[in-house]
Amino acid sequence: MTLKDSIENNPVLWTLGMVLTGFLAGIGTYHWGIDFVGRRLVLQADVVLQNNETAVLTDEYASLKRVEEEVEPIKARENFYRTFLTYAVFKNDPSLEDQARAKNKSALVDWISRNYEATVSGNLSEQEAHIAIVKKVNDWVSGTIELKGDLTLWRIPKEINEAVHKLNQ
């Protein structure tokens, strides 16, 4: 009797061989299925993660835009304060050259003129138009500036008002 015949005729060895063969086939199928399904789940998880990252980035972008909109009036007020106070403080300073005083005055006249035109025309596309409202009285001697977020009503000096009037004619 050969080894093959003795194994085939022995029911215990034959049963153990079939169990071992089935077990190995089952493990192979199990690992293949996990690998196949796992890759598909990983791909779906990547899509879900990318969608979540897109949503997070969109939310962060929206909050950044809100912060920029909140900072914009502050920057414009700061620009006005710097321009107005530089003119007011140095307009009669004898140690400052005439050219520097003229530059300070010109900067203030330009700022007020630009905002006055935006206020009168209703053109709110300019940055400061949302921040400043320039009001003038018909005599061009007096005028005020209201800044969003500032309770102070800023009086426009007479010489600046006249210069703005000449510029807008």
pTM greater than 0.85: no
Q: In 3-state terms, what secondary structure has residue 55? A: helix
Predicted confidence (pLDDT) per residue in 89-104, tens digit: 888 888 878 888 888 8
Q: pLDDT digits over 111-143, tens only?
A: 877 777 766 666 655 444 456 666 665 555 667
Domain boundaries, the chain: 76-168
Contact 123, 110 (CB under 8 A): no
pLDDT, tens digit (0-9, with 9 covering 90-100), for 39-69: 666 566 666 667 778 888 888 999 999 888 8
